Structure 1
Amino acid sequence: MIDYGQFCTVARGAEVLCERWTPLVVRELMCGSTRFNDIRRGVPRMSGSLLAQRLRKLEEVGVVTRVQGTGPSAEYHLTGAGEELRPIVMALGHWGARWIGSRLKRGQLDAGFLMWDIRRFVHLDECPPGRCIVVHFRFTDAPEGERRWWLVIDQGTADLCRDNPGDEPTLVVECTVLALTEIWTGDREAEDSIRERRVRMTGGVRDARDLWRWLGRSAFAETRAAARG
């Protein structure tokens, strides 16, 4: 653990929260991930051994508690101290959206994380009840193995598949990872990207229009959209 050698509580707090990857691990817990593999899906470039190490340290300082889940795997939950980090992490995200913006480098684009983030924030209450919706995403520039994704919304849940689930797609969305990331983060409006042919959609006109209401955008997208004017 970092040791700044100061009694100042800013330094003491930073020792816990500011180690590499730790804020993102806390973010994943705040987003509802409780199992090790789910947390790792939100930080795919973090090694499993380092994630285990960070979770142990967060447990030692009282930010996380480890409990036995309903299955064979343990679950990780934020304690009261961990929940108090929520406004801090959210404020950091809004600050980044307002002042850092996109400025995305190629290495910062990740189809897997993007789709995982979209899946967990699907607006299930906006989706038509009693209907199975399958959205097939095709990324033209993603690495092999990450070019095709299926988002399945059915019976009040949203699942993400890398293999074809077999159902006829409601919609097919074809674009670059950057194009969908810009929509998700609030850097561009979906309508503009479609008009400019940066995003191409196949399916019913009404479904194509409603898709963006079903998906919504990231928690920081409105801040980013407001910042870019």
Structure 2
Amino acid sequence: MTQASYGQFCPVAMAAEVLCTRWTMLVVRELVSGSTRFNDLRRGVPRMSRTLLSRRLKELEHAGIVERRPVPGEHGVQEYRLTSAGEDLYPVVEAFGLWGQKWVQSDVSLQKLDPSLLMWDMRRNLDPSPLPSKRLVVQFRYTDLAPANRSWWLVVQPSGDVDLCRTDPGFEIDLYVETDLRTMTAVWMGLATVATARRNMSLDGDPEIVRTMQSWLGLSPFAAQPKLVP
């Protein structure tokens, strides 16, 4: 699908023609974050339709930012990989994120809550190194959500891989986290810490896992950037 042109030779205008269509930068964010399969990309943009995601990936492929590759050992399965041009977008995505963390007001950010995206980001950013080298299960229960979206499980494997489950995986729970979605999102964004959020959070489980939660919890890669607006 051909996008309307700005009609300017400026490199900013030409880059904007490729990258500034709706959802495109969020798809690039997911690719930069390491997602390569279509379904994983969808989990990072849960409100984007499959049809539109497919269209944006084709546009990025046409622009030379993404290429499709067959997955070895999986007949008919393809994954999306960044080209050299796509890899050059790492600092662009980082600059977008840092600007948003610094200059977008906290209340504006916390009006846009999404448990699917929050849990998916927590899964891929979780740091297993402070945790015991065994399978661990953390159950999150968001008290302000409807029953269908209330409970989520992170399963940390001894290898360090982390799985996100929407249904009970059937393992013993090492830590129960009960809170509201806004509180957990604020912690993830670096707007609060586990310690400062404890008045709105119930933690029940292994005391050592509770004690180190701030260090292993998968925070936003921009959480360390201080806000410059309230």
TM-score range, shorter chain: over 0.9
Q: Which runs of 4+ in 1 moved over 3 A?
A: 104-107
8 A Cα contact 2:68 2:80, kept in partner: yes
8 A Cα contact 1:182 1:188, kept in partner: yes
The residue number in structure 2 matching 1:162 is 166
Distance in structure 2 (CA, Å) of the matches to 1:186 and 1:157: 23
SS in 1 for 2:141: strand
8 A Cα contact 2:194 2:213, kept in partner: no
Distance in structure 2 (CA, Å) of the matches to 1:137 and 1:216: 13
2:37 maps to amino acid: R
Q: Give ranges in structure 2 of 5+ residues lacking alignment.
A: none
Q: Give ranges in structure 1 of 5+ residues lacking alignment.
A: none
The residue number in structure 2 matching 1:153 is 156
Aligned residues with identical type, % of pairs: 46
Q: Are 2:197 and 1:193 aligned?
A: yes
Distance in structure 2 (CA, Å) of the matches to 1:184 and 1:27: 17
Q: How does 1:54-203 map to 2 (within 5 A)?
A: 54-70=56-72, 71=74, 72-104=76-108, 108-129=112-133, 131-155=134-158, 156-194=160-198, 197-203=199-205
The residue number in structure 2 matching 1:210 is 212
RMSD between aligned residues: 1.6
Q: Are 2:32 and 1:30 aligned?
A: yes
Distance in structure 1 (CA, Å) of the matches to 2:27 and 2:45: 7
TM-score, normalising length: structure 1: 0.93
Deviations 1:53-101 (A, max 9, x none): 0000000010001111132321001100011111011011001101114
2:193 maps to amino acid: E
Q: How far off is 1:142 after superposition?
A: 2.1
Structure possessing the higher relative contact order (Cα contacts under 8 Å, 6 or more residues apart): 2
8 A Cα contact 2:61 2:67, kept in partner: yes
8 A Cα contact 2:131 2:209, kept in partner: no
